Structure formats: structure tokens, C-alpha cells
Amino acid sequence: MALSDEQLVKKIIQGETYFFEELVTRYRKQVFSICYRMVRQREEAEDLAQEVFVKAYRYLKQYNPEHKFSSWILKIATNTSIDALRKKKLDTMPLEEEIETHREDMSAEKAFLQEEARQEIESAIGRLPQEHRIVVLLYHQQGKSYQEIADILDIPLSMVKNRLFRARKTLKAELKNLKEEMLWTAKSPPKTS
């Protein structure tokens, strides 16, 4: 039977440090994903992810088992990425909005338009203020609840809801024309040669 995150942390603190590898395995993808989306460069994101795990190991005794370990480690990832952005003054990478595509069933024109739509969505998300982008990333890509996001970002629950609402409102306004174009394209009959 697999140990819970909290049980692993307890064992690591008691000196069985090899259990930390299991925590890294469990959260490597999520931590890297947040770092990568924030800094836009794979190599830098890998370095930041490694830094996150070093910090997590160093401060493991400060982890409060009353909260989810995933929220704690993602909070470290978020803060580490934001710190790196502040140092470099980089723009964050937007969340990829998933558009269902079945390329094998699509004409080249429709495939091109869907790729163009995905890029437009990424661009629109990229123009959001940083505090809105991170909420969108945590909610839509990481699947975190409002409360988990509040814990990760150390902000009130009402602020999470407000930021997500504002981000969606801004995106809806910016993407209105894109949606109309996508609907028109989807209804267009396929061209025959």
C-alpha cells in the first residue's frame, strides 16, 4: 500500500530521506508545468523545478500536515517562479486552452484555423495581469479548487474568485470575435475538389 504524502514527510523528517524521491516523482510534472508556464523556457523551468524541490526538502519540517502537501509544494513552485520573473522581468507564458481537435477528421483549413485559435487564446491569456494568469493556470490546467488556490497563493478565497471572474470576463471580451469565427468555420461545408 502506497504511503500518503503526509506519511512520506514524517518518514523523511525522521531520517529516512530516501522517501523524498517518491515525493519528487509524485509532483515533478505539476511543479515543472507551473515553472514552465511562468518562465517560458524549458531549461530555466527545469532549474526552477529543481530549486523548488531543494527548498521543499530544506523546509520540510515547516510543512503543516493539516494542509495538502500538493498545495504546499505548488505554493513553493508558484512563489519561486514569480521571484524568478521579478528578477528577470519576463512575461509569463499563457495557459494553453485546450481545443478539442481531431486532426485526422479535419480539413487542412480547419486544422489551421484551430491552431490559429489556440494561439489567439494563448495570446489573450498572456495579456492578462500576472495575478490573473496564475489563477487561470492553477484552476484550469492544474485542476485546483478555489480553496487550494487560496492556500497556494496565500490570498483570501474571495480574491481567488474575483481574479478568476475578472480573467474570464476579459478573455470573453477579447475572444468574442474568435468564437464567432470558429462557429462559422465549423458550420461551413467541406470543400470538394
pLDDT surpasses 70 at 191: no
Last residue of a domain, one of 42, 66, 93: 93
Contacts with 124 (C-beta within 8 Å, 6 or more apart), sequence order = 94, 170, 171, 174, 175
Q: Total structural domains in the chain?
A: 2
> Do 183 and 105 fall into the same domain?
yes
**Domain region containing 71:** 1-93
> Do 117 and 25 fall into the same domain?
no
Local structure of residue 188 (DSSP, 8 states): S
> Do 59 and 109 fall into the same domain?
no
Mean pLDDT for 134-153 is: 86
pLDDT for the residue 70: 92
Q: What is the CATH number of the domain that holds 104?
A: 1.10.10.10
pLDDT category at 32 given cuts 50, 70, 90 is very high
pLDDT for the residue 163: 92
> Do 30 and 108 fall into the same domain?
no
Q: C-alpha 97: how far from its chain's center? A: 11
pLDDT for the residue 105: 47
pLDDT category at 99 given cuts 50, 70, 90 is very low
> Do 46 and 107 fall into the same domain?
no
> Do 66 and 150 fall into the same domain?
no
pLDDT digits (tens, 9 = 90+) for 37-64: 888 789 999 999 999 999 999 999 999 9
pLDDT surpasses 90 at 5: yes
> Do 85 and 113 fall into the same domain?
no
Query: Using alpha carbons only, what angle is made at residue 178 by residues 177 and 180, rounded to the nearest 5 degrees?
Result: 65
Mean pLDDT for 152-172 is: 90
Mean pLDDT for 85-89 is: 76
- Residue bearing the bigger pLDDT, 74 or 137: 74
> Do 54 and 127 fall into the same domain?
no
- How far is residue 132's CA from residue 119's CA, in Å, rounded to a whole number? 19
> Do 78 and 161 fall into the same domain?
no
- How far is residue 31's CA from residue 43's CA, in Å, rounded to a whole number? 14
pLDDT for the residue 95: 47
pLDDT for the residue 110: 67
Last residue of a domain, one of 51, 68, 93: 93
This prediction's pTM: 0.61
pLDDT for the residue 178: 65
Contacts with 186 (C-beta within 8 Å, 6 or more apart), sequence order = 110
**Is 92:164 a contact under the CB 8 Å cutoff?**
no
- How far is residue 137's CA from residue 97's CA, in Å, rounded to a whole number? 10
Last residue of a domain, one of 93, 108, 135: 93
**Cell 525522521, residue located:** 14
- Residue bearing the bigger pLDDT, 157 or 110: 157
At position 122, the amino acid (one-letter code) is: E
> Do 155 and 187 fall into the same domain?
yes
> Do 114 and 189 fall into the same domain?
yes
- How far is residue 191's CA from residue 34's CA, in Å, rounded to a whole number? 41
- Residue bearing the bigger pLDDT, 36 or 114: 36
Q: What is the CATH number of the domain that holds 77?
A: 1.10.1740.10
pLDDT category at 98 given cuts 50, 70, 90 is very low
> Do 20 and 8 fall into the same domain?
yes
